[in-house]
Structure 1
Amino acid sequence: MDHITFLVAVVIVTALAFDFTNGFHDTANAMATSIATGALKPRVAVLISGVLNVVGAFLSTEVAKTISGGIVNDALVTPGMIFAGLIGAILWNLVTWLAGLPSSSSHALFGGLIGAVWVGAGSGAVNFDKVVEKILIPAVASPVVAGLAALTATYLAYRLTARARKESVTKGFRLGQVASASLVSLAHGTNDAQKTMGVITLTLISAGALGHDAGPPVWVIGTSGLAIGLGTYLGGWRIIRTMGKGLTEIQSPQGFAAETASTTVILTSAHLGFALSTTQVASGSILGAGLGRRLAEVRWGIAGRMALAWLITLPSAALVGGVAASVVKHGGDIGTAIIALVAAAVAAGIFAVARRNPVAANNVNDHHEVTIRKPAPSHVGPVA
């Protein structure tokens, strides 16, 4: 414990704070469609998701190793750089949560770390080949793969149940959604909780508390799982509304197809150590499910704003992380305190603005604006 200095302790607490924001920011990935279709009540949905996020945190550590020993050179990283990177990620998460935009918490974290390490230790401390291989390529491929899988599954679901009673189909797929949404939550814990594990492990390595290439200790796994689970239970209702009701009008077969596609992609990537964005996977699945149902209309304006947020997430978080790293580098403990106070003030301001237009469990399904195109009449009778 001699290596756990005050700064290291601050970084660990900040990492868990990021994990908490990751939880409520990304609850929509698992539960938006189930809440939108009525398969699960909102509060029940986030409780299930929170518990399974904790369980999922213990299933794998491959993604954590990608972060702690992959995208940056852990021999050149200091706790102050990691603190600065986390500040960039947390602030970006809060800004996009306020706007109801399902941007990537993962890419916010990567961007914050890359910007802070670049400023603090130079560009040579960033392993850009790993960034391309483990982050950028999956960022492009994963939502496309998930979207195509969800589109195909949705089309088949409607074709196979075309002659069945609508009430029976809805009931059956809603039951299926309980299982599929639960699996997404489990997969989310397996993928996203590991990112905070990786950050804390990187901090411990940089402080000399762990050896290079070490995996996360059990207490790191447990606290990371609990932090993301608690954040998930509180529910990121603004983003749940956007994903459940903003992109397209989701019916239960589509919700089941989207969640199943998301689970498959996320768990596969976690096994391979790809630290992809669960938000992008879930959004791609929902878009694919919308395109897979005849007459459903996708709101491409909202999809376009989401895509823009995805594009600017990494560089925006990197910019904030870089500025914070510069202040910490030149200001030492005083600089660290200044950054912490400024970040706390910005976060408080964001929550104050959010209270003016609250979105919660009781109104998360309100104001959906998606329309359904009506088919043209196949026969026009004679005019009397």
Structure 2
Amino acid sequence: MFTLLVIIIVLAFIFDYINGFHDAANSIATIVSTKVLTPFQAVVWAAFFNFAAFFISKYIFKEFGIGNTVAKWVQPEFITLHVILAGIIAAIIWNLITWWFGIPSSSSHTLMGGFVGAALANAHGFADNGIHVINYAKVVPTFLFIFFAPLIGMVIAFFITILIVHLCKRSNPYRAENWFKKLQLVSSAAFSLGHGGNDAQKVMGIIGAAVIYYEGTKGNHMDFDQFVSQYGWVPFTSFLCIGIGTMSGGWKIVKTMGTRITKVTPLEGVAAETAGAITLFLTEHFKIPVSTTHTITGSIIGVGATKRLSAVRWGVTVNLLWAWILTIPISAFIAACVFYVLKMFV
């Protein structure tokens, strides 16, 4: 069983790394498309702040609330190491497929679909003694924010853009653009902090669920806070892995996010990244795992909508929405299949 736990931890960090390069585009798409930084400079910048988010979560928020939420997506009675392993494998498979085709899907919802799908397979899809497999109090908010996160990002970005345009309407255009290029460094750093704080904790949550189960089999009952205290290297490594993954880039998705949804100027890049960062910090405060992909996409749409609705390429946006909706059921199906295979051979 210890070997299985080690495999889960290793694969979880691999998923974390993949999450980093899969979602690198979220942090750098606008700053690259506006040519404020080169792609290499942008990924180094984003990776640094992805990792720096560890210190924000630990010393400012003083907790890893999103990780705690993720660990409780499934009721403890239905969590086993096989369930967690199947969920991680499914999440890795779907993340790689979407990365290959340049689809900015959600690593958060991929992980949730995998975890829940494997647990349902373990329980044969039924409740046991009145206990539901899924912890709806934790899963429902995460699911709803598939729609709420981009909507919040879109509304905030819309009003920030309107405000900036109003305040700067008498400014020298050349001077204003130079200022916004500098400000984009700040806004992209803020968004990368939000990205790291949100996504790295999801892997922490999965590892936490595995460790808590493993310790329970030895008679050592612990909660998530005790796990964080006793396994302090897990949070640190989670944030480190996502930072390294971000440095590996995800250029196919950069193209979609940075140019195909709408053309983005430095001013609009500042508005989109600021709106995305505000949304991510709000959701971290309320311990709701959200998709950074959904959040920044909504923010970019909000910026584009300030010019005219036709400035947003809605055909691309609708395709993204379908990918988001399908992510959870497809990941759940893959995880269920993987679970049955693991039960036969492991």
User: TM-score, normalization: structure 2?
Assistant: 0.91
Aligned to 1:125, the other structure's residue is in SS state coil
Pairing partner for 1:276 from 290, 293, 301: 290
Q: Which residue of 2 aligns with 1:174?
A: 181
Write 1 or 2 for the structure with the bigger share of helix.
2
CA distance in structure 2 between the partners assigned to 1:228 and 1:295 by the alignment: 35
The answer to whether 1:131 aligns with 2:145 is: no
CA distance in structure 2 between the partners assigned to 1:83 and 1:319 by the alignment: 14
CA distance in structure 1 between the partners assigned to 2:272 and 2:198 by the alignment: 18
- The alpha-carbon deviation at position 140 of structure 1 amounts to 1.7
Query: Does the 8 Å contact 1:150/1:292 carry over to 2?
Result: no
CA distance in structure 2 between the partners assigned to 1:168 and 1:141 by the alignment: 36
- The alpha-carbon deviation at position 166 of structure 1 amounts to 1.5
Pairing partner for 2:339 from 325, 336, 343: 325
Deviations 1:224-263 (A, max 9, x none): 1111111100111111111001100000111000000000
1:251-262 matched pairs, under 5 angstroms: 251-262=265-276
Pairing partner for 1:249 from 256, 263, 266: 263
Deviations 1:54-84 (A, max 9, x none): 121343300000011x211234311111110
Count residues with an aligned counterpart. Answer: 327
Q: Which residue of 2 aligns with 1:362?
A: none
Structure 1 unmatched ranges of 5 or more: 334-384
The answer to whether 1:218 aligns with 2:232 is: yes
The answer to whether 1:140 aligns with 2:147 is: yes
Letter in 2 for 1:182: A
Identity over aligned pairs, percent? 37
Pairing partner for 2:87 from 85, 88, 92: 85
Letter in 2 for 1:288: G
Letter in 1 for 2:78: L
Q: Which residue of 1 aligns with 2:304?
A: 290
Letter in 1 for 2:14: A
- The alpha-carbon deviation at position 295 of structure 1 amounts to 8.5
1:79-118 matched pairs, under 5 angstroms: 79-118=81-120
Q: Which residue of 2 aligns with 1:357?
A: none
CA distance in structure 1 between the partners assigned to 2:292 and 2:321 by the alignment: 14
Q: Which residue of 1 aligns with 2:128?
A: none
Off by >4 Å, runs of 4+ in structure 1: none
CA distance in structure 2 between the partners assigned to 1:138 and 1:273 by the alignment: 12
Pairing partner for 1:36 from 33, 40, 54: 33
Aligned to 1:207, the other structure's residue is in SS state helix
Q: Which residue of 2 aligns with 1:7?
A: 4
Query: Does the 8 Å contact 1:115/1:322 carry over to 2?
Result: yes
Call closer, same or farther: CA 1:295–1:267 in 2, change over 3 Å. Answer: closer
CA distance in structure 1 between the partners assigned to 2:76 and 2:251 by the alignment: 36
CA distance in structure 2 between the partners assigned to 1:146 and 1:327 by the alignment: 40
1:339-378 matched pairs, under 5 angstroms: none
User: TM-score, normalization: structure 1?
Assistant: 0.82
Letter in 2 for 1:213: D
Structure 2 unmatched ranges of 5 or more: 58-63, 126-131
Q: Which residue of 2 aligns with 1:350?
A: none
Letter in 2 for 1:29: N
Q: Which shifted more, 56-65 or 83-92?
A: 56-65
Query: Does the 8 Å contact 2:280/2:292 carry over to 1?
Result: yes
Letter in 2 for 1:282: I
TM-align CA RMSD? 1.5
CA distance in structure 2 between the partners assigned to 1:272 and 1:295 by the alignment: 32
CA distance in structure 2 between the partners assigned to 1:316 and 1:295 by the alignment: 32
Structure whose alpha-carbon radius of gyration is higher: 1
The answer to whether 1:19 aligns with 2:52 is: no
1:47-58 matched pairs, under 5 angstroms: 47-58=44-55
CA distance in structure 2 between the partners assigned to 1:19 and 1:139 by the alignment: 20
Pairing partner for 1:232 from 246, 270, 275: 246
CA distance in structure 2 between the partners assigned to 1:173 and 1:59 by the alignment: 25
CA distance in structure 2 between the partners assigned to 1:214 and 1:122 by the alignment: 27
CA distance in structure 1 between the partners assigned to 2:89 and 2:338 by the alignment: 8
Q: Which residue of 2 aligns with 1:63?
A: 66
- The alpha-carbon deviation at position 206 of structure 1 amounts to 1.2
Letter in 1 for 2:66: V
Deviations 1:13-42 (A, max 9, x none): 110111011101111111110111112221
